[in-house]
Amino acid sequence: MTLLSLYATQAVDTNADAERGAVMNEVIDQVNAEYPPARLASPSATERADIQERVTVLVANAFRRRTMRPGPQYETALGEEITRRLLGLGFLDLLLPPVRMDISEIAVYSSGLLQIMRKGAVRFDNVDLHPDAGEIWRVLDRVLGPQNKTLNEANPVVYAKLPATEHNPGGGRITALHPTIAPPGKNPAINLRLFEQKPVLPEWLIERGALSAEMMADLQLAMQSGKRILVCGGTRTGKTTLLSAMCNFLPEGWRVVKIEDPEEIWINRQTVQSFEARPKAIGTEVAAVTLADGVKVAMRLSPDFLIVGEARSGEALEALFSAMTTGHSGASTFHAESPRDTVERVITEMGMHSQARPAEIQRTFASAIDLHVQIGIRYDKRRIISIMNVAKELKDGKVFFEPIWKYDEDSPLETPRWNRVGKLKQVWQEES
């Protein structure tokens, strides 16, 4: 039973909301007076339990002084809410591990609506939580403060990280919009994408029908042979999840350098060096560090394999392709809806950045990429749409794709089918 439903069933007078707010403020003031700020900001598990016990006692005492008897269930629920506000992330604590383990994304609308996306789903569902603007601002301040970031009219869009914790070791990525640019502007708009708490297993994708075991075997061979791979798809199609699963196939002992913005892929081995991009710090002389910077640094770290989080800009693509065409094996993701769309978007992005001619970019693409993997959504399910070799020679001046696997668009929802129409090119075949 939720705090709201508990409260709705209590036989209290019409001033109940005001009394509840008064009790909360009284208890919060008392706790702030009794405990040092440092302990409240970062309590140990033992200290948190001690503070929560104290809050429960203070809540009961506050109601007794008001000659109110809302009942032990309600008092306990209110005490837990106060503790979340004091020590945690308020309403978010009800949606984050360990309370909820089934959520991949959380959306707070500027209207007050709150939605979640469950793991494996591609659509949002409403959730019966209604935090007020004050609580949303408090949660944001608690997250952004330690990162020296502020959401205000001068800086109305903020990108931040949800720090990793014992119960949520994957952390998350936060995008926040100030009410002035997010009508109706009752409160900030927030999107929180949670990262996987453990390495994504290939079996997980096979079980959910994203691809077949035979297709995964080809991807395994491609990773183990050091192919240069581009995983492409639209928004929320699972590009990063697929690349994470493929990373399980990297040979033990390989030195892997991972460049991301922000860090999302979790590879369970010691020989991985991560590099995380960062934006320019507003109001300081601290410069931005980009994905392209990371790739340039990585090339001097003697990697056996490069992993680049989604290459979004022409600068990042140029750095990535430069690495791939100088003997570095690796994989990256890119936002595109089809193989041909991939090439066209690459031409646009790189052309705007370097003014290179389309023909030159086409040749660079063919030289840099060995394998193109397309992922999409069919019947609200994530599916690999195609796996294709990238021919090293252009055909009629354009990048030529040689299909290996194609998704059968006529296959039913519960039993997806893929047709093998070619073979994965091996390194020895290309060199012979």
Reading the block at residue 113, the tokens are: 């609506």
Contact between 368 and 327 under an 8 Å Cβ cutoff? The reply is no
List the single range of 38-42, 146-150, 319-323, 345-349 with lowest mean pLDDT.
38-42
Q: C-alpha 419: how far from its chain's center?
A: 31
In the numeric block, which tokens belong to residue 313? Answer: 């800009």
pLDDT band, residue 416 (cuts 50/70/90) = very high
Segment 129-142, tens digit of pLDDT: 998 898 899 889 88
Q: Mind listing the pLDDT tens digit for each residue in 97-129?
A: 989 999 999 999 999 999 999 988 889 999 999
Q: Reply yes or no: is the peptide bond before residue 98 cis, omega within 30 of 0.
A: yes
Beta-strand relationship, 172-177 and 157-162: antiparallel
| Residue 262 pLDDT greater than 90, yes or no | no
User: What is the token pair recorded at 286?
Assistant: 């601290």
pLDDT of residue 281: 67
Question: What is the model's pTM?
Answer: 0.78
Mean pLDDT of 281-299: 83
What's residue 12's pLDDT?
A: 42
Contact criterion met (CB below 8 Å) for 233 and 302: no
- H helices of 299-391, where? 314-324, 339-354, 358-368
pLDDT at 10: 41
What is the model's pLDDT at position 16? Answer: 73
Of 4 and 287, which is predicted with more confidence? Answer: 287
Is the per-residue pLDDT at 65 higher than 50?
yes
Task: Give the DSSP letter string of 179-201.
Answer: GGGSTT-SS-EEEEEEPPSSPPP
Q: What is the chain's mean pLDDT, rounded?
A: 89
Total Cβ atoms within 10 A of residue 111:
13
In this prediction, residue 15 carries a pLDDT of 63
Cα–Cα distance measured from residue 360 to residue 368, given in angstroms and rounded to the nearest whole number: 12
Q: How far apart are CA 162 and CA 165, in angstroms?
A: 9
pLDDT computed for residue 282 by the predictor: 65
Which pLDDT value is given to residue 4? 42
User: What is the predicted pLDDT for the residue at 49?
Assistant: 87
6 touches 77 (CB < 8 A): yes
Among 164-173, 215-224, 392-401, which stretch is predicted with the lowest mean pLDDT? 164-173
What pLDDT score was predicted for residue 370?
97
Segment 246-269 shows an average pLDDT of 92
Q: Could you tell me which residue, 280 or 12, shows the higher pLDDT? A: 280
Cβ 27 vs Cβ 81: under 8 Å: no
pLDDT above 70: residue 428 = no
Question: What are the tens digits of pLDDT across the range 210-244?
Answer: 999 999 999 999 999 999 999 999 988 999 999 99
pLDDT at residue 304, rounded to an integer: 96
